Structure 1
Amino acid sequence: MSDIQKQIEQEREAARAVCDTSGASSQDCAAAWDAVEELQAEAAHQKQKPQKTSFDTYCEDNPDAAECRLYDD
């Protein structure tokens, strides 16, 4: 997750630089900030994904293990 945060920070710096040179109302400035928003949306999306636990990974690797069996009532 820190990798995407680094990308967001780099894009922010780039957007600020573009806006300083092109002007705050330029299309280049708007496009640069759009890129920042897209990365932030992706970061939020990744946070919403449920993370697998070690037990889930173990059961995927060992579906016949006694701990991983599911019984119907």
Structure 2
Amino acid sequence: MSNINEQIEQELSNAREVCSVEGSTSGDCAAAWDAVEELQAEAAHQRQKQPTQTSLEKYCDDNPDAVECRVYDD
């Protein structure tokens, strides 16, 4: 995940530089900001994919025989 964050930072820097040189209404400026948006969307998508466990789930993974982790079938 840190790799994509580094890429976002690089693209942000690049977009700022391109826009300051070529102007904020140029096609290259718009394309540079599109690249930033695509990377940010991918980073959000990757964060969303990662399952998050509650503290109880983590505890039960480590201690499956604990009273709190027992599952009863009706």
Q: TM-score, normalised by structure 2?
A: 0.67
Q: State the 4+ residue runs in structure 1 displaced beyond 2 angstroms.
A: 50-53
Secondary structure of 2:25's partner?
A: coil
Aligned residues: 54
Corresponding residue number in structure 1 for 2:18: 18
**TM-score scaled by length of structure 1:** 0.68
CA RMSD of aligned residues (A): 1.7
Q: Structure 1: which 5+ runs fail to align?
A: 54-72
Unaligned runs of 5+ in 2: 54-72
Residue 47 in 1 paired to residue 51 in 2?
no
Question: Deviation of residue 15 (structure 1)?
Answer: 0.3
The percentage of aligned residue pairs carrying the same residue is 67
